[in-house]
Structures are given as structure tokens and as C-alpha cells.
Structure 1
Amino acid sequence: MVVPSTMNASSWPSEEELDAVRKKVAEMSGRNVGDVRVVACPYRICPLGAHIDHQGGIVAAMTINYGVLLGFVPSDETEVLLQSGQFAGDVKFSTCELQDPIKNPENISWESYARGALYALQNGGYDIKKGIIGFICGVEGLDSSGLSSSAAVGIAYLLALENANNLTISPLDNINLDKMIENKYLGLGNGILDPSAILLSRSGYLTFMDCKTITPSYVYFSELNKSRQPEGGQLAFKILLAFSGLQHNLPKKRGYNTRVSECKEAACALLFASGNANMEPLLCNVDPSSFEAYKGTLDVNLAKRAEHYFSESKRVAKGRDAWARGNLEDFGQLISASGRSSIDNYECGSKEMIQLYEILLKAPGVFGARFSGAGFRGCCLAIVNPNRAEEAAAYVKEEYKKVQPDLVSQIPCDKCVLICEPGDSALIISADLM
């Protein structure tokens, strides 16, 4: 569905960004600039609910005012022709081609997400006859940053192909289609956190997604305590993203899938011990009392994974209440506790990521911090007092440079620490509706 943009002066994408993408697609296709439509898919953060979406848990998420832009026009026939702002070369294939799942993670490239979108639509029973001519770009340097850029790219291709073929597909169905890209085509064990945040977020709200029932709910910040918001309409918080400089993909994929398997193994053992072996081996199907009763029977690693799931679920529930009250101090403490559990119980992260997390905890004005994404590479997030955001960003950059000078030297100066604001959900912007 095409919707008019509701952008304001501080929102993303800017008119300059949109114009640049439209002009590039017009050059590629020979069409008028006014014919080009642009999919805007924001990046997401997950303040609470780390690593429990694939176990059917409840997660909290919001988007930010940065993301992926895919300008496109429908092609005359079945051809898909794509170019990227980050990667060289053209990608060409036909929508008539049947896409086979990728067998080796080392073979995943930037074109895999476009082919994966076609694969998901084909296997979802949708008739895709028309291709697209498109140009995709994101924030340079953030393509492996822990902000779900891969989900943003996959969803962008889904929305563009659907639009070109006059298909109206609900956000919930697109969540499942993106999950098919990740799980079936790319071979990753991802849950539905990323696509849910990108497709269902609402500006000003924190989205809570029940990943077992695929049911979203929304809580408006400070709904019960509006007096805590700063005067003059200023945001009560900003989002700090601090980048580690780690860019390697394969260890993350292996580590991520290993943790997912361990969670399922723990669920299987707990369900068997509690007489519920017939249930699907997900930790959301284990009663918390059963975990307390039988956690001593688990292997040490499995017990840690389960401990993270159940403690994180409690933090999400407490975080919902703190958010509704506008209590950023309580909310921030829960975020930081989530980060600590990810290190101690889920055992993700690296030396560099842990250093960055601990620096953020000491930064001025920071309410709370944790890893963003899987935590093996990428960035850490923090919720920060808006009046101290610049000071906090400078502190983090300087302190991280002391412990990781080589990594910091590889990050563009303006991308080392970003100060962000909450965003909105993915949308298609048509030039004639601006």
C-alpha cells in the first residue's frame, strides 16, 4: 500500500535523500523522477526482550530515524535490476526463476536479500510476474551494526515487489514472509523481533510484541505521568548508538544459531521433566514454576540460557510499567540489567562489545545501556537524557578510543557515536503524494 509521507523537519528520510534516490532510479530506468516510489524501512532497537523472540517471548522495540531506502519502478516484464549505494555491480534475475535456499552462509551477499524476498513470496503462494528496477542504499558503515539492517533490506524488497505486482499484504503476513527469508532462505534462526519492529512501530510508542501469538500492543511514553516530559515539546530522551567497529559476519551467524539451539534444548529438557514433552520445545511453553523446579537438572550452559529467558521476560513486564509511568531511571536500570544478563547468562558479546557496554554505563546522562542486536559485533544502544546527549557521545568516543584505537580508526568520524530519535514504521512514499 502506498501512503503519503507524514515527515516533519526532524524526521527521516529527508527530501534530499529521497530526491537522490529518485534521480538514480530515473537514470537506471529511463522513467520520469515522478514515477519513482521509495520504500523507507527504518532500523530498529530493542531496549528489552533480548534474545527471547525466537523462544516465543515478549519483546519491546522501536525504530529510529535512520534506515534503508529502496527507490524503484515496476519493470516492463519479469526482470529485476538492482544497484546498491554500498556495493559495486548490478544484480539481475527474473521473477520467473525459482530461488533455492542458500546452503553455505559464506555465500550470502547483498543480492541474497532480493532473491530471498522473491523466494518467500513464491513459497507464500503469491503470483509475482513483474520485476522492479531499483536502487537501494542505507547509512554507510551501518550494514552490520546490530540495528536489523538485514531485516530492513528484506522488508524493503518485499514491499517493492508487492507494490509492483499490485498485492496488498498485511504487516503480520509480511512479518512471516521476512522470517521465511531469514530462516528458510538464508538459514538463520532469527525470530520475529526485527520485522515486527520495522513494520508495526508507531512514533511516540514502545511496541511490545508477543512472539508466540504474534500480537502487538503499544504503550505511549509517560502516559500516566506526563509531567516528567521536558517543557517545550522536547523529547524526554534520545537514543545513543555507539559502534564497535567489528564487522565480521560468519562468527555471529554461527554463534547466534548455536544459542537458539541451546534454548530449544533447554526447553525440551524442562518440558520433559514437567510432563509436557508433547509441547513444542520453546521456552515460552515452559511454566516459570517448572523452570525453578527443574533448572538444577540442566547442563550449566542450558541453565544459563533458560535463566536469561525467564529473567528477561520479567524485565520486559517491569519495563512496560516503567515506560508507561515515564520513569526513565527505572527503565534504564532494566536495560542495563538486560545487558548484563546477555553477557553472563546468554554469553554473547565479545571483549570489544563488553568494553563499549561498560563505557556507556559510565557516560553522563545515560539511563541504561545494552548490546543492540545479537551482541557478537555491531553496536551498543543507550537511552540518554536529551540535554546531555552530546556530552555522552563525546565521552563514549574518547573512552572507547583509549581501549580500541585501531577499531575506532576504521569507523567514519561521524558514525562512531550517533544520537538518534524514535522513528515510525516502514512505508512506501510516492512522489505525487508529497
Structure 2
Amino acid sequence: MQKNPREHSRYNGLTSLEPTLPASAYREADAYRLDLEAIWYRSWLMVCREADLAEPLAFRTARIGSQEVVVLRDETGSLRAFHNTCRHRGSQLCQESEGRLKARLLTCPYHAWTYSLRGDLVRIPSKSLPEGFNKDNYPLYRVALSVWRGLVFINLAEDPDGSAEASFDSASRDLSNWPLETLVPGHRLTKVMNCNWKIFWENFNECLHCPGVHKDLSRLVPIYGRGLMARHDDPEWARYADNDAPEFSGGLRAGAETWSRDGRVHGPVFAGLTPAERAAGQTYATSLPSMFVVGHVDYVRTMRLAPLGPEQTELTAEWLFAPDALAQTDIDNIVAFGAQVLEEDAAICEINQKGLHSIRHQAGVLMPEEYDLRHFHEWVRGRHAALQPVKMTSADSAR
């Protein structure tokens, strides 16, 4: 659910009839392959936190569609990313999902081709080499890497545009007052949802479902209980323009301070937040297609997505706290509330996915409050239209 208040003086809602994406876009293998090639293989994708690779020789692997990448910190402390593929005959290099390398080298388990942590081929066990063979021509396939506020992003495009920072949605809010780089995880939740990745983002971008699906959240954020995300989602917003009650202006209910079971903070509040940031209760920044991050007054949540197939998506949520706050914080009270909202979203997304299999349902229709779904659909269509041929076969890009 997108929660960024709009700061203008007009109605947000759609005023014309708008169709959704076709139902086939959420369930067919060809549509999934198109999404991978046009979007996931060409976007900045969050894969982990920089602190997950704190020590030299630490590594993690990440899978995006059929593509597997190893991200590591080399012996000099630099972060690097490569396709998890040997240049000899294509064997997988790292089999574990994370760990620490035993040497300052990556060695293929099949034929022992050995690479430096900068990706250069340094040793081949063959007794002789074919004429014209040059090790310099066979480095690991490098993957672009960018760090934003302690979060590590990769991009599978050979020559990607911009950086992770530039990938954030223009409606994202400024999180500079949250100390993201120094926070530590208090809890991690990983869940596989049986729905297409786009359904998750559609659900994220509207609150029509909130009154029926998120009853506790709707009590905490009263405007959600009206099925709205922001003041200007109401076609009659001008009638309440001077009313700062949270059901009209947004923000948390009176007396609440953060997202938790009881709405109270359960540890130290971040010192650098402005009064407006404290009053908002939640501040979102979004980088399609892989993640969003939410700043609360006493902790930060990150949510990372990975597509597993046409009708399956993996979510990884982390709750991050100041290091000295962990011992003072009732983490269970905080995590229980966020996990409840996540489970509710996952369940309704799966119900949405099941209904899309009707042979009669070719496409849906957007309601006025679903203006951000139209923006998302336009983004998807635009990425599809911009697709240029990529150097991989259709077999490579399907799981």
C-alpha cells in the first residue's frame, strides 16, 4: 500500500474509465518472461544490506528469475557482484546462499577454474591451453552494483542507467533523517506468496481494501479506514480542507506514535526526526520493482520482493533498530503488528490471483481511488515498450 501524502490542491482520483492490465499478464509464462526481460533484468534491485557483507570475503547469492548472482566483499573491502557462473562451461560457482570464502579466490567446483575476487581469471588446471587462448578474455560476468543508504542494489543490464538512488519513485519521501546505515536487524520474515509480483504492488498502491482486510491498521491510521490513502483522494476533500483530524488529513490516530500492537513506541525515538515526520507515523520510499522502505519514529522496515514464477513471489521483510535500542525495545509488540499486516496482504493477494483464472475475465476496471495503480500499469507498459533485444534466450529467462 502506497502511503505518500499528496501535497497539492486538487483531487487525486481518476475521472475517466481505465482498464487494468490483461488477466493474462498475471498468470501466463510468456507474460512472466516479458516481465523478467523488460523489468527485472533491467532495473536496480535490492539484494541485501551492506552490513550483511561486513567482513572481507563475505558473500551472498541472489536469484532473480533464472539468473543467479553472487555479491561479495573482496579483500580490499570493496563490494562486487558477478553472475554465479564459471566462464569455462557455465558451472555454478557458489552453492551456498551466504557465507565466507575460504580464500581470496573464487574456484569453480567442477574443473577448478579460479578467479580473483575482482573477477579476473587467474588459474586454469589444464596441462596445456588452446592456441590463441588468453585468460584476460574470460573474466567473470560482472554485474553492476550500487549502494544507497546501506542497502545493496544490483542491475543485470550490461550498461545500466543511473544508480540505485535514481531508481526511487518520485513520490518517495526523504529518509535522510533516519540513520539507515547504522541500524541493525531485530527481526526478519521471509514468505512465499502464491501470486504474481504485480499483484503485490497493486495492493500496495491502494487502500480500498483496507477497511475490510486491515481492520487493526485502519484503526491505527483512520484515513485508511475510509478506503483512502491521502486527503485529496476524497472527491469532497475541500469540505474537510481545514479539518486536521487523522481521518481526513492522514497520520496515526490520536495518541498513537508508531506502527505497533498498541500504537505506542517501545524503545528510543530517532533523535533527528522533524515534528512532521514524527506526526506522520510512517514515511515511505519505493524503488520498483524490488523494494520499499518505511521510516517509523522508533524503527525502520524494509520489504524486498523477488519473482519466483508467474504466480509466485518471495517477500523478505526486516525490522531495523538502532544498535543500542535492541535491548530496550519490545520488538515482539512491533513485529507482531507489521507481520499481521503482511499476512493479511499476502492472503488477499493470493485470493486475487486465484480469481484471475476465469476464462471470462479478460481485464478489470480501475476505480477513482486507484490512481496509483494506473501509474504502476503505465510504468509496466512503458518498460515493456522500451524492451530491446537482450543477450539471452527465452529458455535462459524462464525458470
Name the TM-score class by shorter chain.
under 0.3
TM-score by length of 2: 0.25
TM-score by length of 1: 0.23
Q: Highest Rg: 1 or 2?
A: 2
